[in-house]
Amino acid sequence: MHQTFDAAIEMNLLHANQRGADHNRAHFDQWGITCINLMSSPGAGKTQLLESTLKGLEHTLKVAVIEGDMTTELDADRLRQYGVPVIAINTGRSCHLDSKMVAGGIHQLQQHHEPKALDLVVVENVGNLVCPAEFEVGEHAKVALLSVTEGEDKPLKYPVMFREADVLLITKTDLAPYVEVDLDRIEANIRQINPNVTIFRLSAKTGEGLTDWFAWVQETVKNQANRLQLTV
């Protein structure tokens, strides 16, 4: 009985979140913005990758960041150094961003910047390998990061995020020789969960693999703009 009741509450919560996510996406579409949701366990390299991406694409795309952390603006401050709009959201006890929190972030962004001037909003989700994958925030693409130091088995043990992701980034490849990890094994485990997902191997420290990631971001923004033109 309790279980049915709990399941019903969870379904309601997810439905309400989904409605909010659809609403956020409608705003992004109206402004011609592509939204990417970056997710991973704590420390897999989301902020480091964002730093490299802001530098790499500074002459190509107008980017803003919605930065989710349980506490502090440490990551937001790291990214503000690149001169882009960064909205910090502290989630308190919550282990993920939900669509309502991101709606608040969009509202703040709108108060200080003209959204139509932006091409891309990247949401850096709270570091957690499970919860963020269950809560859409209005993104057009979910990008999950798995660093080589986390272990080859993680896609099998925490499948939800790997199943939901449109793109999987295997990060910190510069550290692979030191942790005796088999990158092909990681990829095979990811493909057991999500056979057709796009996978890039990269190191934000050395720059290895970043060109392919930048190309994917640019292509995604272009495809999104084309899709919107076709629907107006």
Ligand X SMILES: Nc1nc2c(ncn2[C@@H]2O[C@H](COP(=O)(O)OP(=O)(O)OP(=O)(O)O)[C@@H](O)[C@H]2O)c(=O)[nH]1
Chain positions contacting ligand X, by CB under 6 A: 40, 42-48, 75, 127, 171-172, 174-175, 203-205
For residue 22, the Cα-to-chain-centroid distance in whole angstroms is 17
* Minimum CB distance to ligand X smaller for 142 or for 172: 172
Buried b (16+ CB within 10 A) or exposed e, 3-39: eeeeeeeeeeeeeebeebbeebbebbbebbbbbbbbb
**Subset of 62-91 contacting Mg ion (CB under 5 A):** 75
Residue nearest to ligand X (CB): 127
Tell whether the torsion through CA atoms of 3, 5, 11 and 17 is positive or negative: negative
Q: What track of x and - describes contact with Mg ion for positions 27 through 66 (by CB under 5 A)?
A: -------------------xx-------------------
Task: Please provide the distance, in angstroms rounded to a whole number, between the alpha carbons at the two ends of the chain.
Answer: 48
- Smallest separation (angstroms) from ligand X to the CB of 85: 18
Of the candidates 169, 154, 168, 179, the residue with the CA atom closest to the CA atom of residue 204: 169
Q: Give the one entry of ligand X, Mg ion, none that residue 44 binds, where binding means its C-beta sits below a cut-off of 5 to 8 angstroms depending on kind.
A: ligand X
Give the nearest distance from C-beta 218 to ligand X in angstroms: 21
Binding site residues, Mg ion, CB under 5 A:
46-47, 75
